[in-house]
């Protein structure tokens, strides 16, 4: 085993942790409920104040624009919590029974917790673990190695985090914030 291979799990975790600490998480500081629920265009998919979330499978085409609330719910539940549960024994999580955050502060606490659960699991992975199939929790990708899932989660967090940051930028520059 090479030095590079031996440290692969650490490198994967460090990549996401750097992004989290230096880019994504600081950009979420001060998130307000108005921003959280803001709909930049009509007919957005969102998380509603009563905790109901918009979704359809398969998603309509073109896919609806989503609010910060919806995107955070996706990252919290679908990206982090479900995977931490399925692969690392984290708390039970699924889209149907999740107690979705009905305000920004609660969403950020859920995000921090789900991120910590996922990262704790990733930091425990060894080289052999990264090569093992991820199993039935990942459906048609069951035979893919854990390495692929960790890379996918990193990519998802970076991607959706950038979308959330852009929505915040648009919100503060929007003159019509009643939506």
- CATH number for the domain spanning 131: value is 1.20.120.450
Beta bridge partners of 53: 47
For residue 7, tell me if it sits in a domain: yes
For residue 162, tell me if it sits in a domain: yes
Spatial distance between the Cα atoms of 22 and 41, rounded to a whole number of angstroms: 29
Residue 12, pLDDT score: 95
For residue 103, tell me if it sits in a domain: yes
Q: Say how many domains are in the chain.
A: 1
Spatial distance between the Cα atoms of 92 and 86, rounded to a whole number of angstroms: 8
Which of 12, 28, 26, 27 lies closest to 154, judged by CA? 12
For residue 178, tell me if it sits in a domain: no
Q: What are the C-alpha distances in Å from 38 to residues 14, 41, 44, 159, 179? A: 32, 9, 9, 20, 6
For residue 68, tell me if it sits in a domain: yes
Whether the upstream peptide bond of residue 95 has omega within 30° of 0, thus cis, is no
Tell me which residue range forms the domain holding 88.
Answer: 3-173
Question: pTM here?
Answer: 0.93
Residue 177, pLDDT score: 61
For residue 168, tell me if it sits in a domain: yes
Whether the upstream peptide bond of residue 62 has omega within 30° of 0, thus cis, is yes
Residue 6, pLDDT score: 55
Residue 174, pLDDT score: 87
E-state strands within 22-72: none
Residue 175, pLDDT score: 76
For residue 179, tell me if it sits in a domain: no
For residue 8, tell me if it sits in a domain: yes
Per the listing, tokens 């950038």 go with 162
What is the distance between the terminal CA atoms of the chain, rounded to a whole angstrom?
56
| pLDDT by position in tens, the chain (length 179) | 454 555 898 999 999 999 999 999 999 999 999 999 999 999 999 999 899 999 998 989 999 999 999 999 999 999 999 999 999 999 999 999 999 999 999 999 999 999 999 999 999 999 999 999 999 999 999 999 999 999 999 999 999 999 999 999 999 998 766 65
């Amino acid at each position: 085993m090479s030095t590079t291979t031996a440290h692969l799990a650490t490198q994967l975790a460090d990549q996401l942790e750097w992004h989290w600490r230096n880019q994504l998480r600081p950009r979420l500081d001060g998130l307000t409920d108005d921003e959280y629920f803001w709909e930049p265009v009509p007919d957005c998919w969102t998380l509603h104040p009563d905790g109901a979330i918009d979704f359809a499978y398969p998603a309509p085409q073109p896919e609806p624009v989503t609010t910060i609330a919806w995107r955070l719910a996706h990252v919290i539940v679908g990206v982090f919590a479900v995977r931490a549960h399925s692969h690392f024994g984290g708390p039970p999580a699924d889209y149907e029974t999740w107690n979705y955050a009905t305000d920004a502060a609660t969403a950020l606490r859920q995000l921090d917790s789900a991120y910590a659960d996922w990262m704790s699991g990733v930091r425990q992975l060894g080289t052999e673990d990264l090569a093992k199939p991820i199993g039935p929790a990942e459906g048609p990708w069951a035979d893919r190695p854990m390495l692929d899932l960790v890379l996918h989660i990193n990519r998802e967090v970076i991607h959706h985090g950038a979308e959330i940051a852009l929505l915040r930028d648009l919100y503060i520059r929007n003159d019509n914030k009643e939506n």
